[in-house]
Amino acid sequence: MDSVAGDFQPVYRAAQEFMAQDETPGWLVYDYRESNPVFRQVIRPSGHVTRPCYFYLPVGGAPTLLTHHVDAGKFAASGVDCIVYRNRETLVSALRGLVAGVGRLAMEYSPMNELPRVSRVDAGTVELVRSLGVEVVSSADLMQAATHRWTPEQLADHRETADKLGRIVNEAFACAGERLGRGVTEFDLAEFIRQRFAEEAIASPDGPIVAVNANASDPHYEPSAAQHSPIRPGDWLLIDLWAKGVAPGSVYADITWCAYAGSRVPARHQEIFDIVTGARDAAVEYLQDAHRRGAVVQGWQADRVARDYIGARGYGDWFTHRLGHSIGFEVHSEAVNLDGFETHDTRRIIPGVCFSVEPGIYLPEFGVRSEIDVFMSEEGPYPSSPVQREVALLG
């Protein structure tokens, strides 16, 4: 078998196993000018592709690619059989032949765009496939089962990076504490973290978040050279940092820790920190208990546990985002999110996927978030990153 095609055999096998269990006859992965990131996780062109492509994987048998004549050469080394079209008429004719006799196909489609990370195929393409007598269903669970379950090597890579992030965040707190009397800003600390990333051979295209007091109430605040705040005694400090290794195939880790610039945490800050970490731990315990009982959990259900925990303590209105996001080749990746708030994520939390658990309470004067990474193993879910238990003290 061609080495390039061999790279994707585990993906094809996983997809076909899922489709057999789910009674789905086939998976049709559509892409136009890199509109669908899933496409390059099932086939790898050798260069830029300019026309629409359809990759079809039946529940049994080999895959087929439908591509335009001008792009066919980009797939010559893929090892996948190609059908070539030249114009609109031959495209529709070839697509009709490709799906003939298939009553239902999974595509990267989400009804009512409920799951934006899944909904990658435009409405017109869905209409075209339906016009050929095919029912289009969502590939939401199929896609994550085939393309987003980690190998042991990826898990080890993630855990190594997560450990580095844990060390770096504590080094950043120590740096801030040492420089409190001489003057230190959010941007200074962000630059310190970026330098440590380079030294540890990990990287991120953006971040980190380094935020004091009310700035920490903006979940995606980032200081810049032009706009930042000083860190002074008595300040609350939140640091959110994410990165992956620089080697090809590395996956992300992502954590958020909090600190207080003083010798004793104020009661109000401690109260909010305890509620946030309690919600975090309640969600993890829920997932672990569900696994022991043999129950399958969907993403929205884990979100509900943490949201109810915070709501019962009077701060539900201040928890303004989903509980967690998929982690993979991107820090916000394509598999299940822990979300019953921004969306209603009905994807199953399956073995092999990783996600963040990061409840937050964002008050006008300060914000608290505690973020850990959780890996869903065959033996059950567990934190795969360092876990903050106490507020760090800078004084």
Does residue 273 have a pLDDT over 80?
yes
For range 26-49, the mean pLDDT: 96
For range 23-30, the mean pLDDT: 97
Q: Which domain holds residue 321?
A: 152-389
End-of-domain residue from the set 115, 147, 179: 147
Model confidence, pTM: 0.94
Predicted local confidence at residue 1, as pLDDT: 36
Predicted local confidence at residue 181, as pLDDT: 85
273: domain CATH number is 3.90.230.10
Report yes or no on 297 lying in a domain: yes
The pair of structure tokens assigned to 149 is 């379950």
For range 102-126, the mean pLDDT: 96
Q: Which residues pair with 373 in a beta bridge?
A: 356
Q: What is the number of structural domains in the chain? A: 2
Does residue 258 have a pLDDT over 50?
yes
Q: Measured between alpha carbons, how far is 369 from 360 in angstroms, rounded to an integer?
A: 4
Q: What percent of the chain has pLDDT over 70?
A: 98
Q: Do 49 and 164 have their domain in common?
A: no
Per-residue burial over 30-68, b = 16 or more CB atoms within 10 Å of its CB, e = otherwise: bbbeeebbbbebbbbbeeebeebbbbbbbbeeebbbbbb
58: domain CATH number is 3.40.350.10
For range 39-52, the mean pLDDT: 96
Does residue 254 have a pLDDT over 60?
yes
Q: What percent of the chain has pLDDT over 90?
A: 98
pLDDT band of 5, cuts 50, 70, 90? low
Q: Do 175 and 125 have their domain in common?
A: no
The pair of structure tokens assigned to 357 is 């658990």
End-of-domain residue from the set 120, 147, 174: 147
Predicted local confidence at residue 3, as pLDDT: 43
Q: What is the mean pLDDT of the chain?
A: 96
What count of other Cβ atoms lies within 10 Å of the Cβ of residue 153?
11
For residue range 209-244, what is the model confidence (pLDDT) as tens digits? 999 999 999 999 999 999 999 999 999 999 999 999
pLDDT band of 2, cuts 50, 70, 90? very low
The packing angle between helices 186-199 and 152-179, to 10°, is 140
